[in-house]
Amino acid sequence: MENVQGKVVWITGASSGLGKALTTTLASQGAQIVLSARRFEELENVRVSLPNSDQHISIAMDITNEAQVRDAYAQVLKEKGRIDWLINNAGLSQRALIAETSMQTERAIMEVDYFSQVFLTKLVLPTFLSQKSGRIIYVSSVAGLLGTQYRASYSAAKAAIHMWANSLRAEVAQDGISVSVLFPGFVQTNVSINALNGEGKAQGYDNEATANGLTAEEFSDHAVKALLKGEEYIVIGGRKEKLGVFVSRISPSILYKMIRKMKVK
């Protein structure tokens, strides 16, 4: 079992939802957290609520702005001197049919959920390579394993980062760097409220599946336990999500029939 006592953990999307929950869980176990998201005030509200709040730092950045991300990386190294875990959590979901989704919206989701995470990883990778240690973590989604209605762009982006992570894991394994991917199912966060419709605007309301999902704290507890065990492929969700992932492995054709009958909006 690994432990995070004293380790520097950089978490994107740390101001709310899954990122905030992961921040709280890891800080309670002694990690030094670097919290990143767009709004500094919200990051600070989270930071001051953590145990040993003075050892954590808030760095505001837009994950899609490469100049801001470079500045944030430089600040992390200046203040902490190293990075032990990088958790690529910042993400953007979708709730729209393919026929109703503009190309601008398609690109916006891919930019946040795939390209920005690739860029940040490439930026930080030299630090891990020089240390000969570290863990890189991606928050994908069960949707990235299955693909469902109203989430085509989101599912594609989350599948893409999963496959990219697989390649990264193979390339850096000999350098003491581990790569893990988390696949959350329905979790009680604002993901559906903030999800983009076809025009690229926030949906603005929750849905029943998300509202009845795991709490963010339950997700975080499961995630951190699995990460500390060194697991690389981590599915976290309710019975329906886990069943879907299982069926996808043994009979894709049955899965596709199941998905066609689902009411997932």
List active site positions: 154
pLDDT at 51: 95
CATH number of 8-261: 3.40.50.720
Mean pLDDT of all residues in 163-181: 98
pLDDT at 1: 81
Given a cut of 80, whether residue 262 has pLDDT beyond it is no
The model's pLDDT over 51-96, given as tens digits with 9 standing for 90+, comes to: 999 999 999 999 999 999 999 999 999 999 999 999 999 999 999 9
Q: Left if phi > 0, otherwise alpha if psi is -120 to 50, otherwise beta: which for 52?
A: left
> pLDDT band at residue 260, thresholds of 50, 70 and 90?
confident
Q: Considering the chain, what is the average pLDDT of its residues?
A: 95
Give yes or no for a contact between 95 and 264, defined as CB atoms under 8 angstroms apart: no
Mean pLDDT of all residues in 99-126: 97
**Cβ neighbours of residue 6 closer than 8 Å, sequence gap 6 or more:** 30, 31, 32
Given a cut of 90, whether residue 259 has pLDDT beyond it is no
- The two structure tokens encoding residue 107: 């690109």
The model's pLDDT over 215-250, given as tens digits with 9 standing for 90+, comes to: 999 999 999 999 999 999 999 998 888 989 999 889
Is the pTM here over 0.85, yes or no? yes
Domain ranges of the chain: 8-261
Mean pLDDT of all residues in 144-163: 95
pLDDT at 196: 93
